[in-house]
Structures are given as structure tokens and as C-alpha cells.
Structure 1
Amino acid sequence: MTIQTTTHLNFRGTAREALEFYQTVFGGELTTISYADMGNADPDTADHVVWGQVAAANGFRIMAYDVYPHLPWEQGRDPFFVSVRGTDAAELTGLWTKLSDGATVRQPLEPSPWAPLYGQLTDRFGVTWVLDIAAAYAAV
């Protein structure tokens, strides 16, 4: 399995604007999935980004999303996640097991609507990690 770490930025309603800006700076392909794409009909958040990224041929990659409205968020509290994206469920699960020692699990490692395997935890040092197996999405 190969893995890569990617900075995952967290916003409250401005993720699309941020990703579009980063694309103008670094180039690459912009991909976004909105809450509406995931079935959310709330007009206040339907166009917010549930997952997005800019990925450039030179290796630049950044991910972002708009924090769910029902979750607490302040820019200084959870401004980013470290995203570990893999291709092998067993190896990813092994990494999860090790990282979860002393951690607070925020989302158990399990299948989700947007990924074959997804989990989120805050380790004992206060760093929030997202581990997942990427699903293929068409660029928007």
C-alpha cells in the first residue's frame, strides 16, 4: 500500500472559495462534493463542501470541507486535520489501531457514504487524524 498525508483544512461555509483560491495559486484540478450531492436538502448548507481538494501535477494537494453546522467549530480549535489516504484496508486499519492508543475517536473507522473506509480521531497529542480509502469522484 502507498499512503500520503494531506493537510485537510476546516471552514464554516468558505471551503469552496478557499479551494478555488488555492487552485489559482497552485494550479491543478479542483474537485468538490457538496452537502446537496450527499442528499442534504437544507438550503442554508446545501452548497457547502462536504469534501473538496486541489491536486496538482507537481505534488501539491490540499483538502477542505465546511464543518457540519450542528458541530462546534471555531477557526482556532480545529483549523486542520492530517489526512492519511491509503489503498489497503488491512494496512490502514493497522495504522488506525496504533494511532488510536490514547486517542479520542471522533468517528470510528468504518465504511461511510463517501468512502469505503473512513475514520477520524484526535490523538493523545491533540492532533486530529482522518484515515480513509479514497473513492473516485469526477471533478466539478
Structure 2
Amino acid sequence: MSTTAIPHINFADGKARQALEFYQGVFDGDLLSHTYQDFGMPAGSPDSDRIVFGQITTADGVLLMGYDIPGAQEPDFAKPRSTRRVNGTTVTEQPMFVTLHITDLTEAETLWKRLTVNAVVVEEFASSTWSPGFGIVTDQFGVTWLINVHE
């Protein structure tokens, strides 16, 4: 049996298109997206121009998905939840992070720079006791990423 876990990010604020285009640039990937209208919702209906299926794929195996939650206009769970460092420990109110395990330090540094645009850096990217490069950032769309270099 073969299983692959794919991060699927749900946007409650109508920003799936903007986020997916941002991630396309971060990962140098291909973007495939369809709106609710593409799948049969009448044009002009609420949410018809929002993303129902979005996917980023890269040549080196990154696969990331996302969509706009229909009818959502920033419900409670869409409010920013903090992630911060306290006494050397990561403390968070978020239900999940996306972790990138990368074998090349230079590639990790490049992704770090791209993800930190208009973001909140939780832990600066630097060497750690277990890795030549590790950092935590909450991007401009509220998604927290852990970048970890493993050689």
C-alpha cells in the first residue's frame, strides 16, 4: 500500500486564488485551479468566482491544495491564531502546521525568503541542534510553515 498526505488549505476569507498564486511563486510550481462556476454554479451567484479546486505541483514532488470555503466570510476559525516562541518552546493555537523537509540548505534558504514576504517570523531560520537550517513562519495568509533541513 502507498499513501501520500497532501496539505489542503481551506480559506474562509476568499483568498485562495491569491494564496495559491503566491505559493506557485514560492515553490516554482504549476497552478491548476477551477472556480465554483467552472463546476456548474451559475455565474453571478455568491462564491461563483471563488476557487473550488486549487492545486500546486512541482517537478520535485511538492503537492499543495487549497480552496475557498463556500459562503464563508471569515468565520471564527478563520481569525488569525497565534504561534509564538515562549521560553524556547513553540506555543500555538493553530490546529496544524505545514512542514517542509528539505535536503539542500540553499534551497531551504530560498524557500524561507519567499515564504517570509509580509509574514510573521516565529523562529528565525538558523542552524539548530538537529538541523543545519530550521525556522518557523506564519505567512501572509495565516498558514504556519516549518522549514527543516535534513541531510
- Using CA pairs under 8 Å that are at least 6 residues apart, name the structure with larger relative contact order, 1 or 2: 1
Structure label with greater radius of gyration: 2
Structure-2-length-normalised TM-score: 0.46
Structure with greater strand percent: 1
